[in-house]
């Protein structure tokens, strides 16, 4: 009897279970290989430390990890000008008979305006004029102590141009002694010292710059009054002078010629251009007095500035403004510019102000473009040989980013992906 094999029958197939198991094993191996490749490319698995395994290097430039100081800079809008105009504290009463042109600069001894055809003169100081100044009835001088009257420009002109009162009792060069023979009726006070300092700075000397208004002072005042075309009374009226910290720039007039003097008869500003920034009240930590900033001018040039003052009252945006009044409250920040020549002839213009926000010194940095996103979250870097290491990012500034991590070191080459 012939067997099936001898009759030419096909051999029996292998058991079904064994063949299916082999197919599954091959497919599983392919899936594992593919998964490992994906893990390597995405930097998955482990803590990001270099483990010696690497994928074939890919195209793209490499850069070193460097140690540097990162500085975050922020730019805000500002307005160049002379600052807020404020009213001149004119105490004269009468009719305005002359007004200066807007934008004119007035220095010590200059005329601010004329009231009843009398000049109101600018002097330097911080104490306002609050009373008439002159010798009292009880003042007397010993004969011959003053000598001949000295005209304006005589020797003895003080070198003090700041308007700061001189120490009490310090004699003016070329002047007489400390008011020889005054009686107890002499007018005294810091306002006298301030006025006499200005009088001496204008070249009218022959008296002692101190807190006493003597007959010697009165004689110098008469010479000054003669130069102004005023009656030579030797007494200075409360409305004859106005004090400011320095020279001023005339603003707008609040009255017309022929009108009576009012509180807003004339406004003024300082003569130095400055920048005012309406800074967000919630983000004004940079605005600290003395902080350095950079002012960007319309012509593309930059000048150095310094925060001079910060407003203490926040102001809500005006309704109906460009932002619909929905913006955050702001505080005014005034920035001074030391190099006024660098500003050129600009008197008013929109500018930008750049300030330093945060700063990180001596940290490891890479270009921002070197960062890669990891599938498990966070960021990483690709090394030159194809490995991926996880990093923690810090400050972003100037196209670079602060990085840290156990596998990151200075000088290490990382790839910038294409």
Domain with residue 45: its CATH number is 2.40.420.20
CA distance 66 to 50: 19
**Domain boundary pick from 346, 371, 402:** 346
Give every CB contact of residue 341 below 8 A, 6+ residues apart in sequence. none
Domain count, the chain: 2
295 and 341 both lie in a single domain: yes
Whether 314 is covered by a domain: the verdict is: yes
Task: Identify the pLDDT of residue 358.
Answer: 85
**What confidence category does residue 418 fall into, taking pLDDT thresholds of 50, 70 and 90?**
confident
Using alpha carbons only, what angle is made at residue 328 by residues 324 and 288, rounded to the nearest 5 degrees? Answer: 140
How far out from the chain centre does Cα 197 lie?
Answer: 33
Give every CB contact of residue 314 below 8 A, 6+ residues apart in sequence. 281, 329, 330, 331
Give every CB contact of residue 411 below 8 A, 6+ residues apart in sequence. 64, 65, 66
Task: Identify the pLDDT of residue 164.
Answer: 39
Does position 349 have pLDDT exceeding 60, yes or no?
A: yes
280 and 323 both lie in a single domain: yes
Whether 103 is covered by a domain: the verdict is: no
The pLDDT of 114-142, averaged and rounded, is 84
For β-strands 400-404 and 349-367, DSSP reports them as antiparallel
Does position 22 have pLDDT exceeding 50, yes or no?
A: no
In the numeric block, the tokens 């926040």 are attached to 314
Residue 44 near residue 401, CB atoms below 8 Å: no
Whether 302 is covered by a domain: the verdict is: yes
Whether 316 is covered by a domain: the verdict is: yes
Whether 140 is covered by a domain: the verdict is: no
Task: Identify the pLDDT of residue 385.
Answer: 87
CA distance 313 to 400: 37
Residue-number span of the structural domain to which 61 is assigned: 40-71+359-415
Residue from 232, 220, 334, 348 nearest 279 by CA: 334
Whether 167 is covered by a domain: the verdict is: no
339 and 387 both lie in a single domain: no
**Domain boundary pick from 346, 368, 388:** 346
Residue from 229, 231, 204, 209 nearest 150 by CA: 204
Whether 406 is covered by a domain: the verdict is: yes
Whether 380 is covered by a domain: the verdict is: yes
CA distance 366 to 416: 10
């Amino acid at each position: 009897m012939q067997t099936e094999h001898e009759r030419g029958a096909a051999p029996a197939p292998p058991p079904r279970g064994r063949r299916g198991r082999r197919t599954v094993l091959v497919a599983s191996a392919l899936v594992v290989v593919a998964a490992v490749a994906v893990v390597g490319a995405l930097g998955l698995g482990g803590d990001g430390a270099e483990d010696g395994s690497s994928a074939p290097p890919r195209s793209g430039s490499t850069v070193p990890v460097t140690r540097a100081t990162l500085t975050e800079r922020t730019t805000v809008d500002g307005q160049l000008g002379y600052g807020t105009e404020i009213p001149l504290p004119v105490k004269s009463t009468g009719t305005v008979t002359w007004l200066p042109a807007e934008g004119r600069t007035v220095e010590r001894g200059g005329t601010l305006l004329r009231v009843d055809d009398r000049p109101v003169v600018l002097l330097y100081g911080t104490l306002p004029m609050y009373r008439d100044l002159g010798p009292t009835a009880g003042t007397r001088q010993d004969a011959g102590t003053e000598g001949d009257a000295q005209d304006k420009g005589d020797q003895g002109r003080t070198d003090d141009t700041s308007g700061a009162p001189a120490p009490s009792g310090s004699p003016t060069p070329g002047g007489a002694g400390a008011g020889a023979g005054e009686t107890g009726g002499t007018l005294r006070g810091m306002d006298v010292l301030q006025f006499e300092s200005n009088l001496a700075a204008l070249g009218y000397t022959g008296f002692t710059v101190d807190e006493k208004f003597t007959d010697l002072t009165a004689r110098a005042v008469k010479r000054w009054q003669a130069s102004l075309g005023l009656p030579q009374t030797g007494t200075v009226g409360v409305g004859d002078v106005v004090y400011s910290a320095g020279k001023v720039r005339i603003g707008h007039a609040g009255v017309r010629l022929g009108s009576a003097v009012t509180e807003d008869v004339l406004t003024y500003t300082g003569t130095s251009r400055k920048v005012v920034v309406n800074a967000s009240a919630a983000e004004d930590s940079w605005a600290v007095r003395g902080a350095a900033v950079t002012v960007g001018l319309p012509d593309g040039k930059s000048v150095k500035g310094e925060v001079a003052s910060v407003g203490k009252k926040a102001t809500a945006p005006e309704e109906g403004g460009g932002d619909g009044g929905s913006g955050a409250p702001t505080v005014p920040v005034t920035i001074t510019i030391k190099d006024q020549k660098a500003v050129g002839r600009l008197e008013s213009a929109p500018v930008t102000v750049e300030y330093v926000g945060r700063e990180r010194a001596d940290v490891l940095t890479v270009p921002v473009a070197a960062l890669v996103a990891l599938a498990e979250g966070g960021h990483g870097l690709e090394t030159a040989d194809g490995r991926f290491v996880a990093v923690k990012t810090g400050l972003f500034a100037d196209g670079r980013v602060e990085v840290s991590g156990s596998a990151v070191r200075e000088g290490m080459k990382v790839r910038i992906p294409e």
